[in-house]
A and B are shown apart, each in its own frame.
Chain A
């Protein structure tokens, strides 16, 4: 049986022959969202563990990235909306069944919270900073008093943000590549790993670097395990999932996926971090930047390849 399908009278812009609805803006947004989730999670966690003096980069300096990344991420998300003037409609309702609605609300909470967190450490992060107005000083001391509360709120919020970047995709059963439940934990792990990598870039203390590279190493292994799991799930799945897997293992995105995500983004940084932990000198900037690059390319691959997969036609 040879079956061929022709469609006439239809060539919808950005839909046919394959979807081009989401672009680099969404990949960037998912990357920055995951990265901020990672940074804020570690900051809050180690703060609550009482490591304020040992983990300066984790709790203080590196957290400046979080609000910046969130704001840039929100910006790229906004650019990708095609009916921009109505974006406020996101905040006139809560849709429990829509991951995007969840994400919008979590971002509304976590972005200001991350700014407040940085503000509470502003005089420590920028020692030359001189808070001119007394109300600013008062506000800062108010924030310092409430750091614990902020940390307690940041933990669940950052986890939801991290998981959401994956669930956003996995909720679409129309795109077989995305439609697997592993994507939530996978994107969370990847986000935490990119968060740890950027903290490493900021850290000057040997003790802190050691802890964060160990964490990052563990996260990389979990990520590799989850990716294997995802591919195995597709391999055992329906026809459309098999076709989706082909795009990653022997199709248009294979090189990008295996070379840039798996080898350069996960395996090599893992080896480098391991050699460093054993005692050899490796400039930490190399594995960190590789992890960050791998995280970004992973999201680009998932967004682009996912839109190639469909049910009909």
Chain B
């Protein structure tokens, strides 16, 4: 099993519903977030191209954050999800330094926190909160190891990219592009 998220940059309108849904679902402290929207503007009016997308931890196959964690607090569970066990984390910050996507933060309580792919929800067979609220249905979550899953089919049919592939992390958030 290999969980992944496929996000259609052509459908995303940058409404930030996914950001708010995550903050609510996961009790993210105020001022922090586990996902966010980036807007890449290319050119200037009238010849302008704007790409909107929702970003978060990439649950990398080759996760540097897990590699560098001295206590094993950062670990990988079934489906390739990267999680942090709060009471094993010493707050050394190594994982934050190691993430090319800057997807982690220090929780005000001291431990390190980040996107969990809503592990508690998918265990119950539900979708991650961000995916379930997206009004344009631009996000799709599923198992890449299953060749018939919606995520696998989308990646077969459409052109896509991942973020900073040169960092060697083998990320699992795919962005559908033109």
Which residues of chain A have a CB within 8 Å of any CB of chain B? 1-16, 19, 21-22, 80-84, 86-87, 89-90, 92-93, 95, 97-101, 104, 171-175, 238, 307, 310-313
Contact = CB atoms under 8 A, between A and B. Distances in A.
Given A13-B31, A84-B90, A90 B97 contact: no
A312 B90 contact: no
A35 to B, nearest CB: 21
Interface in B8-34: 14, 16, 19, 31-33
Contacts of B33: 9-10, 12
A82 B102 contact: no
A97 B68 contact: yes
A97 B102 CA distance: 20
B71 A9 contact: no
Interface stretch (B37-45, B116-124, B135-143, B144-152): B37-45
Interface of B: 14, 16, 19, 31-33, 36-44, 64, 67-73, 86-94, 96-102, 104-106, 109-112, 163-164, 166-168
Contact of A83 (B37, B94, B96, B111): B111
Given A86-B89, A310-B100, A98 B38 contact: no
Nearest to A97: B67
A289 B88 CA distance: 41
A93 B101 contact: no
12 contacts: A2-B42, A2-B43, A6-B39, A11-B31, A12-B32, A13-B105, A86-B111, A98-B67, A171-B64, A174-B64, A174-B98, A310-B100
A172 B71 contact: no
Contacts of A92: 71
A92 B73 CA distance: 11
B42 A15 contact: no
